[in-house]
Structure 1
Amino acid sequence: MDSKKSPDKKKSVEGVSRRTFAKRALQAGLGAGAVATGLSSAFTGNSTQFYDEYDYVIVGSGAGGGPLAANLARAGFRVLVLEAGANDPSDDTHNIPAWHPFASEDRKLSWDFFVKHYADFDQQKLDSKYVPGKGVLYPRAATIGGCTTHHALITVYPHNNDFDRIAQSTGDSSWESWNMRRYFQRLERCQYVSRPIFSNPSRHGFDGWLPTNRGNPALLLEDPAILKIVKAALAKYGLEGAIDQIITGNMNLDINHWDVASGLEGPFIAPMAADSKSRRSGVREHLLDTQAIYPNLLHIRTNALATRVLFEGNTAVGVEFLEGASLYKADPYYDESGTAGILRQVRATREVILSGGAFNSPQLLKLSGVGPAHELRDHGIDPVVDLPGVGENLQDRYEVGIVSEMTEDLALLKDCTWGADGDPCLNRYRYGWFNKGPYSGNGPVPSLVKRSKPDLEDPDLFIFGVPTDFHGYFPGYSEALRNYKDRFSWIVLKGHTNNTAGRVTLHSADPRDTPDINFHYFGEGNDALGEDLQAVVEGVKISRDIMSGPLVSKGVSRELLPGAEIQSDQQIGDFVKNQAWGHHASCSNKMGPASDPMAVVDSKFRVHGTNNLRVVDASVFPRIPGFFIVVPVYMISEKASDDIIATATGQAV
């Protein structure tokens, strides 16, 4: 049968005996009835018939797996996407850019991981966000589109060095930054820069699946207090008089211009992934649009929790999964006494691709027998390939909030009721024409890009302001945002972090269990010189300087965080160590040559020591790229599409 055509008959499950299948079901805690049902030869969903066999089976529908699945289907291959969450049942209010915090705590689509920042419990409990007995909340999403359905929409291109270093370490010139830029151009549909007629020095893309827009800077005119804060921030670059140019759009401040990727500093306006009507738009829409066009090629199976990759020898031949809702323990609706799910299998005639992210992809590899052999044996898992790097090298960025209480409510938000009956801001968003108001953006304040010290290769600080109280993630944090209209926060984000000591390890062999996640912040990590901490301290001082200057200080009642009593660098450093957080987990299946004993995948995303198995998500980066992870992941998804199609068509090098 031509593998690029949709099958005209159902095929039986092959390669795993009924006895082995039953044994796996019992190991997963399932009953005999679940096993019998699980051996059905075809799967039928609400509106789609599912087959036993596809060209490609992709685990995860987020930033890595979603664009990849769409590209493979559009190239004519049969693709199944396994998504552990449901098809997002939320109403359209979660597509409102300013409402992303509420989306991240929507119980219908969230997975709530609780992580450790430190192994030292005495240090860990100093974090005000720490939940006793659990850890620190790390919001993830389980639905079509993954975390792109709740992220803050910030769409920022990484630095050229992020890709050039991969090219150097792997010897693969296709990773060089000049070449990688074309993947950004391919996926972007830029709607805030005019399409060029001849040359394209900005190297923006204008025909891709991801619309990019910018918030309306004219909103600054509606809030004198925020306007003063912006002027004070611009003064850091000698641009305090440029505010009129910014508001009118005559000063571009385009952070995604090709020139900026070489390491420029300055104030910039970060674009957001929203369409021309100021609605969230991204992977979810791209996947569903593709499925509508190619219904016989792209199938998306929701409520399907992958439990392991199926191997014949070292060759991946399919995926085993549990069918059922809320089966993973990170799901807020997980019920220990509820259904255990139905164990099923699906075959991949070409490849299996894992795109579960920095937590779940290493977990699934280990559950499948790929990882550190000693850890696998400790949990009763027979090793298929001993790869000690699986789950190691976990990285994140450090962030802290500098929160000020203003002398009065911010004018921009004073009338907003965040969805209560008659909300004037919501009415303005829905029915406004030229200016949809504060809900239409993810913050009207330009971001500051700086080096924490002058000798750094690339800027490492991204400092941005938000008109609310935000100091990290904790249960109920989004509801707390509704309560404060007199708060302004600067968020200091430390990019290009040095610490690579985080780990993802198995808690148990139960695929429904969450792994143990410890980032080993600061002193517990391997940043021997403490440069990460020093950089964040510098960012705090920059933010404070803006708020304490003559232009802004009269409008500030008091500093809530770190607080007036925190003054010395040592005190600021302790504040940072206690209160920092991150939300760009990556690098836990790092890319590198086979000669690197800690490398998990090669430069074509292929898992070392296996055949027909790749990982395409944030976990594959050797070092965390740029400031925000989502654009680099989109780019590698596009690149992986080319690599996989080249293999399928016999053009791979």
Structure 2
Amino acid sequence: MDFHNFRLLRCILVAVFFFHDSCYSDEAGKYSFMKDATLAPKLSHFDYIVIGGGTAGCALAATLSQNATVLVFERGGSPYDNPTATDIGNFVNTLLDTTPNSWSQLFISQDGVYNSRARVLGGGTVINAGFYSRAEEEFVAEAGLERAEVEAAYEWVEKKVVFEPQVKGWQSAFRDGLLEAGVTPNNGFTYEHIVGTKFSGIIFDPDGHRHTAANLLEYANPDNIVVYLHASVHKILFTIKGNERPKAYGVIFQDAGGVYHTAELATQDSIMNEVILSAGAIASPQLLMLSGVGPAAHLTAHGVNPVIVDHPMVGQGMADNPMHPVFIPSPEPVEVSLVQAVGITKFGSYIEGGSGLSLSISLTRSFLDAVLNLVKKTKLPMQPISKLFESLDLRLKVTTKAGVIIQKVNGPLSRGHLELRNTDPDDNPSVTFNYYQDPEDLNKCVEGFNTIIKVIESKGYSKYKYPGSSGRGLLNLILALPTNLRPRHITSAFDLKQYCKDTVMTIYHYHGGCQVGKVVDNDYKVLGIDALRVIDGSTFLKSPGTNPQATIMMLGRYMGQKILRERT
């Protein structure tokens, strides 16, 4: 009997004889190196300090631990504390959970679009829709990555967390509709990013249980790694000697009890040991600024002292791929599925879909209340929305007999920026994405909607829509819902350009803020500073592939191996 089956049998026996469901909570037992930050000493020393136990951070830390000591800070808790919350049927409820210390932290951009930040070990892989697809060849080439090593890094990730989907009725019909709409050829099942329609990997196993970047820590050397949970990093520490470049040597972090601790690099005069930011596209540029690395005038205005490096590009180049859903009520029962099939169009929109998702009405109400509270707290310049939110419980009753088709605009070309709102690292900074500022993004959106309409009205999809319903008519359903806080300028879906602007949502693929060539070099080292790198989606110039999680995990593994080679 192998270890996995032995552990499962033991769990079942415990549950039967002691009436205690420990089968999934016992997953955390594999990670003896995972500790609450309240147990941290006042001062500790490690070869590498990784800030952020998310999509990139887990892969990076697990790799580095093979030949060095590694400390990981995660501001949230563990996904193993509540394993059923990550199951496929709880996807929407977990993503929209706004209770204190939830895994998903609500933030609203200055554009009036609500979004989420992960605060849990495993990062966005714990709360996302689970689709796994590799980056396009052009992305890898532009990033200057070695193709063979990229392939090996992807495969390393895939062995732990990726599964081939069990394709059923709705997803098959969606695939057929895409092909009929001209998104060809049919590429079958593949992880590769190629034009046409395909099925790709998912991080849900056949039983609907989610596997996340946290599972990559199974690769770690447990003797060389410590992961502190509920650890909020407040500042990166630097040494400055005369005219030498600043050098990172440690961090200050706070535990859940409010106690401050310090972690330092083990040998500060070593050129190998480093602090590595993997906190994501919001927190990485934010923490650089709070540590004195960013636009000097902006930092001084917020009382950040001293300014270590005047780095005007920190926080610039922020982008978020626009997303638009179309809900299609179905006369036939549909399976519960998240993204399995995708249409990669020639014009630059990606078409994805899911089916059978249900939404808790009480959670809907609490989410809308949280939006209102955040608007008041941050004083966002939004339209009055109180009346818009009245009686929405009835409108937002999503039944399980429905499909949803979404489009994501590739790139995007539109860019924004991030600024400090205050000096609290756990609070949301001010973020502006400037959706559809570039007209090319808007053209892609219009073409994407035209494609979705063709899918809905195709023969292949016809079983899952009511006779007589039209694609354009279904677009009007969104106009009754508070998909964002932006003013509405239209009352129908016939002006697709205005419709795109008014109803824009996020697909949670925001990136930028510490971009390669502007804030970090091609080895992800922060320009002008020693012993400090940024390795996460904040370095991207565009979102890779249809969905970025595969590439972010790959990058953590890829760079971990490269750093270790430099160490020898």
TM-score between the two structures when normalised by the length of structure 1:
0.67
Q: Match of 2:138, as an amino acid?
A: N
Match of 2:312 in 1: 388
Aligned pairs for 1:157-176 within 5 A: 157-167=134-144, 175-176=145-146
Q: Match of 2:214, as an amino acid?
A: R
- CA displacement at 1:557 relative to structure 2: 4.4
Work out whether 1:398 is the aligned partner of 2:368.
Answer: no
Q: Structure 1, residues 524-564: CA drift from partner, whole Å, max 9, x if none?
A: xxx2xx01011011111111122234662654646342459
- CA displacement at 1:356 relative to structure 2: 0.6
Work out whether 1:451 is the aligned partner of 2:346.
Answer: yes
- CA displacement at 1:49 relative to structure 2: 7.3
Match of 1:64 in 2: 56
> For residues 151 and 347 of structure 1, what CA distance do their matches in structure 2 show?
33
Match of 1:180 in 2: 150
Match of 2:270 in 1: none
Q: Secondary structure at the match of 2:424?
A: coil
- CA displacement at 1:615 relative to structure 2: 0.6
Which of 405, 408, 413 aligns to 1:493? It is: 408
> For residues 238 and 388 of structure 1, what CA distance do their matches in structure 2 show?
42
Partners of 1:604 and 1:643 within 8 A in 2: no
Partners of 2:203 and 2:211 within 8 A in 1: yes
Partners of 2:237 and 2:250 within 8 A in 1: yes
Match of 2:291 in 1: 368
- CA displacement at 1:150 relative to structure 2: 1.3
Q: Structure 1, residues 596-650: CA drift from partner, whole Å, max 9, x if none?
A: xxx111111111111111111100113332221111111211121023213322x
Match of 1:442 in 2: 338
> For residues 233 and 357 of structure 2, what CA distance do their matches in structure 1 show?
38
Aligned residue pairs, count: 474
Partners of 1:103 and 1:149 within 8 A in 2: no
Q: Secondary structure at the match of 1:58?
A: strand
Q: Match of 2:527, as an amino acid?
A: H
- CA displacement at 1:507 relative to structure 2: 0.7
Work out whether 1:323 is the aligned partner of 2:211.
Answer: no
Q: Match of 2:512, as an amino acid?
A: C
Which of 298, 303, 308 aligns to 2:230? It is: 303
Q: Structure 1, residues 328-371: CA drift from partner, whole Å, max 9, x if none?
A: xxxxxxxxxxxxx1122111232111111000000100010111
Match of 2:532 in 1: 613
> For residues 451 and 358 of structure 2, what CA distance do their matches in structure 1 show?
18
**Structure 2 gap segments, 5+ residues each:** 1-34, 241-245, 267-272, 369-392, 480-490
Counterparts in 2 of 1:497 and 1:44: CA distance versus 1, 3 Å: closer
Q: Secondary structure at the match of 1:86?
A: coil
Q: Secondary structure at the match of 1:64?
A: helix
Partners of 2:105 and 2:119 within 8 A in 1: no
Q: Secondary structure at the match of 2:78?
A: coil
Partners of 1:357 and 1:618 within 8 A in 2: yes
> For residues 117 and 555 of structure 1, what CA distance do their matches in structure 2 show?
41
Work out whether 1:518 is the aligned partner of 2:450.
Answer: no
Work out whether 1:463 is the aligned partner of 2:382.
Answer: no
> For residues 369 and 158 of structure 1, what CA distance do their matches in structure 2 show?
33
Aligned pairs for 1:391-430 within 5 A: 391-406=315-330, 408=331, 410-412=332-334
Which of 399, 416, 431 aligns to 1:502? It is: 416
> For residues 88 and 475 of structure 1, what CA distance do their matches in structure 2 show?
25
> For residues 574 and 68 of structure 1, what CA distance do their matches in structure 2 show?
42
Q: Match of 1:140, as an amino acid?
A: R
> For residues 318 and 364 of structure 2, what CA distance do their matches in structure 1 show?
21
Counterparts in 2 of 1:228 and 1:618: CA distance versus 1, 3 Å: closer
Q: Structure 1, residues 286-314: CA drift from partner, whole Å, max 9, x if none?
A: 22x346xx433111111110001011111
Partners of 2:293 and 2:307 within 8 A in 1: yes
Q: Match of 1:272, as an amino acid?
A: I
> For residues 339 and 357 of structure 2, what CA distance do their matches in structure 1 show?
13
> For residues 507 and 67 of structure 1, what CA distance do their matches in structure 2 show?
31
> Of the two, which has the highest radius of gyration?
1
- CA displacement at 1:55 relative to structure 2: 1.0
Aligned pairs for 1:525-564 within 5 A: 527=438, 530-549=439-458, 552=462, 554-555=466-467, 557=469, 559-562=473-476
> For residues 155 and 172 of structure 2, what CA distance do their matches in structure 1 show?
33
**Structure 1 gap segments, 5+ residues each:** 1-42, 119-123, 125-135, 168-174, 190-208, 243-250, 326-340, 413-437, 453-459, 593-598
> For residues 51 and 556 of structure 1, what CA distance do their matches in structure 2 show?
68
Q: Match of 2:550, as an amino acid?
A: V
Q: Secondary structure at the match of 1:346?
A: strand
Match of 2:492 in 1: 566
Partners of 2:38 and 2:255 within 8 A in 1: no
Q: Secondary structure at the match of 1:66?
A: helix
Partners of 1:403 and 1:562 within 8 A in 2: no
- CA displacement at 1:234 relative to structure 2: 2.7
Match of 2:554 in 1: 635
> For residues 481 and 271 of structure 1, what CA distance do their matches in structure 2 show?
30
Partners of 1:503 and 1:519 within 8 A in 2: yes
Match of 1:254 in 2: 189
Q: Match of 1:392, as an amino acid?
A: Q
Q: Structure 1, residues 149-205: CA drift from partner, whole Å, max 9, x if none?
A: 1111100111010121233xxxxxxx254553332133322xxxxxxxxxxxxxxxx
Counterparts in 2 of 1:621 and 1:232: CA distance versus 1, 3 Å: closer
Q: Match of 1:508, as an amino acid?
A: N
Counterparts in 2 of 1:147 and 1:554: CA distance versus 1, 3 Å: closer
> For residues 535 and 419 of structure 2, what CA distance do their matches in structure 1 show?
20
Counterparts in 2 of 1:49 and 1:312: CA distance versus 1, 3 Å: closer
Counterparts in 2 of 1:115 and 1:53: CA distance versus 1, 3 Å: same
Q: Structure 1, residues 6-34: CA drift from partner, whole Å, max 9, x if none?
A: xxxxxxxxxxxxxxxxxxxxxxxxxxxxx
Percent sequence identity over matched residues? 23
Which of 577, 584, 609 aligns to 2:509? It is: 584
> For residues 585 and 392 of structure 1, what CA distance do their matches in structure 2 show?
13
Which of 71, 90, 95 aligns to 1:80? It is: 71
Name the Cα RMSD after superposition: 3.0
Partners of 1:587 and 1:624 within 8 A in 2: no
Q: Secondary structure at the match of 1:393?
A: strand
> For residues 633 and 71 of structure 1, what CA distance do their matches in structure 2 show?
14
> For residues 104 and 152 of structure 1, what CA distance do their matches in structure 2 show?
9
Match of 1:198 in 2: none
- CA displacement at 1:87 relative to structure 2: 2.5
Q: Secondary structure at the match of 1:561?
A: helix
- CA displacement at 1:567 relative to structure 2: 5.0
Partners of 1:305 and 1:322 within 8 A in 2: yes
Q: Structure 1, residues 566-585: CA drift from partner, whole Å, max 9, x if none?
A: 354xx111111111122111
Match of 1:129 in 2: none
> For residues 238 and 618 of structure 1, what CA distance do their matches in structure 2 show?
28
Work out whether 1:155 is the aligned partner of 2:163.
Answer: no
Partners of 2:41 and 2:261 within 8 A in 1: no
- CA displacement at 1:403 relative to structure 2: 2.1
- CA displacement at 1:144 relative to structure 2: 1.4
Q: Structure 1, residues 34-77: CA drift from partner, whole Å, max 9, x if none?
A: xxxxxxxxx9868887961111111100111111111111x231
> For residues 485 and 278 of structure 1, what CA distance do their matches in structure 2 show?
16
Aligned pairs for 1:3-22 within 5 A: none
Counterparts in 2 of 1:475 and 1:508: CA distance versus 1, 3 Å: farther
Work out whether 1:645 is the aligned partner of 2:533.
Answer: no
Counterparts in 2 of 1:624 and 1:216: CA distance versus 1, 3 Å: closer
Aligned pairs for 1:474-485 within 5 A: 483-485=398-400
